[in-house]
Amino acid sequence: MNELVSITIPTFNSEKTLVATLESIKTQTYKNIEIIIIDGYSKDKTIEIAKRFGVKVFLCKGGLLEARIVGGKKSRGKFILLLDSDQILEKTCIKRAVKMMENYDDLWLYERAFNRKKILPSLYDADRIITQDFWEPDEDIVLPRFFKRKLLLMALANIPKKYLSVCGAQDHIVTWHEFKQISRKIGIIENGVQHMEPESIKILFRKQYRWGKTTKEFYKTGIYRNLITKKNKFRKFRVSYPVLSSKSFILRILRGVPYKLGFWFG
């Protein structure tokens, strides 16, 4: 219960959310943690904030997947947590995860929207509940974040290097796809993390347009194409969750329009 845990966080112009993310790590009840930030040459105060918290910072010109790999290689822990710069960990999350890794090779963290009392985040929250409560391992929608480092690096090494620079929003599904070839001993951390979601249509539109644009470049390579298709489909309507299912449907439309515009015209 005292193994080193490496938390790797890709960043790019993340000054608005990074403080909350780093504070949630610093207040963990489990203390043997190293934090590694892999920055895509931010133009705001991201690196300044990271240095203020005393974390390790490495620069990476590639996409999200390449940043994840850089973070993994720079890490020293027995375990790696792939965190995003707009996520907030529950304070006992790491402690519970380390204990559970006695029986598993990777864990997914049950995730809610941090700001879910607001309209748009409430839609994201509904979509997350639907996908997580009815999760099926082969759907590649709910994705693990906490790994045994040795196995994660083995999985990442199987991804063709020539595609790393163009893989953005698909980083998790590609990682999970390769990890499943090595191990399926996956568990769940209940009440694990909260996500700071977009609170305005403008921010949502810009984010999804960007993801659509970057996905197009990756889609052109022809590799992992079926994973991209799975991730973007509508959720099944759950009769037992009528309100949440309706909210999820609305969100998929709101996200899908700018995503498709970015994919087609970006």
11 Cβ neighbours under 8 A, 6+ residues apart: 18, 37, 38, 39, 40, 42, 46, 50, 85
Q: Which residues of 106-117 are buried (b: 16+ CB within 10 A; e: fewer)?
A: bbbbbbbbbbbe
Taking the domains of the chain in order of start, what are their residue ranges?
5-265
CATH number of 5-265: 3.90.550.10
pTM beyond cutoff 0.75: yes
| Cα angle 148-178-221, degrees, rounded to a multiple of 5 | 140
| Per-residue confidence (pLDDT) for residue 161, from 0 to 100 | 84
pLDDT (tens, 9 = 90+) of the chain, 266 residues, equals: 799 999 999 999 999 999 999 999 999 999 999 999 999 999 999 999 999 999 999 999 888 899 999 999 999 999 999 999 999 999 999 999 999 999 999 999 999 999 999 999 999 999 999 989 988 766 667 788 999 999 999 999 999 887 777 777 788 888 998 999 999 999 999 999 999 999 999 999 999 999 898 888 888 888 887 777 766 667 889 999 999 999 999 999 999 999 999 999 98
Instruction: Determine the 3-state secondary structure of 204 from DSSP.
Output: helix
Structure tokens at 129: 């509940």
Which single residue is written with the structure tokens 């304070």? 91
Helix, strand, coil percentages, rounded to 5, for the chain: 50, 15, 35
Phi, psi of 47 (to 5 degrees): -65, -35
